[in-house]
């Protein structure tokens, strides 16, 4: 599974409040898409108007820290972001992203050589990311097959609707 898109470069410690402020958490209970205009509003004003389908976020350390609100990764995906690369992720954000089918990749050096607007290519199966604009490649361990299946099926809920309980969850007491 290959992903290619324009980079949006962010720094360290991007919290879920940077992604979508907590003041909006009850604003759109009936329709989460109503929250899109507020996505990254204090970091990149009008981000939702500027982002294109397939774009990739490249960030520093501790991406997604803060609250466990699933709206944060869900809105990022709804806006068209196809993957997030960071030096590290908050654990809850990381798992929430996987659960909704948004690839998150930990890389230590790519963000240091990347700028907004660079073209990034990610190969999830073979485990590498390339900053095409800078001709820089970094490898990572590919996802286990179970995670790859969740991502290929657009999240765990879609996977379960399509195939039922995953084999790795059967007969667990």
Of 88, 30, 38, residue with least CA distance to 63: 88
Task: Say what the pLDDT of residue 172 is.
Answer: 52
Residue whose token pair is 């590919």: 142
Cβ within 8 Å of residue 95, ≥6 positions away: none
Which residues partner with 160 through β-bridges? none
Per-position b or e across 72-91, b if 16+ CB within 10 A of its CB: bbbbbbbbebbbbbbbbbbe
**DSSP 3-state assignment of 132?**
coil
Domain boundaries defined on the chain: 2-142
Task: Say what the pLDDT of residue 103 is.
Answer: 98
CA distance 79 to 89: 20
Task: Say what the pLDDT of residue 24 is.
Answer: 67
pTM here is 0.91
CA distance 164 to 62: 33
CA distance 82 to 66: 22
Domain 2-142 class in CATH: alpha beta
Task: Say what the pLDDT of residue 68 is.
Answer: 76
Task: Please list the pLDDT of the chain residue by residue as tens digits (173 residues).
Answer: 899 999 999 999 999 999 987 776 666 667 778 888 889 998 999 999 999 999 999 999 999 998 777 889 999 999 999 999 999 999 999 999 999 999 999 999 999 999 999 999 999 999 999 999 999 999 999 999 889 989 999 999 988 888 887 666 666 55
């Amino acid at each position: 599974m290959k992903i290619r898109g324009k980079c949006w470069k962010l720094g360290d410690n991007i919290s879920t409040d940077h992604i979508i402020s907590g003041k909006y958490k009850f604003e759109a209970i009936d329709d989460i898409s109503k929250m899109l205009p507020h996505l990254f509003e204090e970091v990149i004003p009008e981000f939702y108007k500027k982002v294109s389908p397939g774009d990739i976020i490249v960030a520093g350390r501790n991406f997604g820290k803060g609250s466990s609100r699933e709206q944060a990764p869900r809105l990022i995906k709804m806006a068209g972001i196809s993957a997030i690369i960071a030096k590290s992720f908050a654990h809850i954000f990381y798992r929430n992203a996987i659960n909704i089918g948004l690839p998150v990749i930990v890389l230590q050096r790519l963000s240091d050589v990347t700028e907004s607007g660079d073209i990034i290519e990610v190969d999830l199966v073979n485990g590498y990311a390339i900053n095409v604009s800078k001709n820089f490649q970094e490898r990572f361990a590919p996802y286990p097959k179970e995670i790859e299946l969740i991502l290929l099926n657009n999240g765990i809920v879609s996977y379960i609707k399509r195939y039922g309980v995953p084999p790795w969850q059967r007969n667990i007491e």
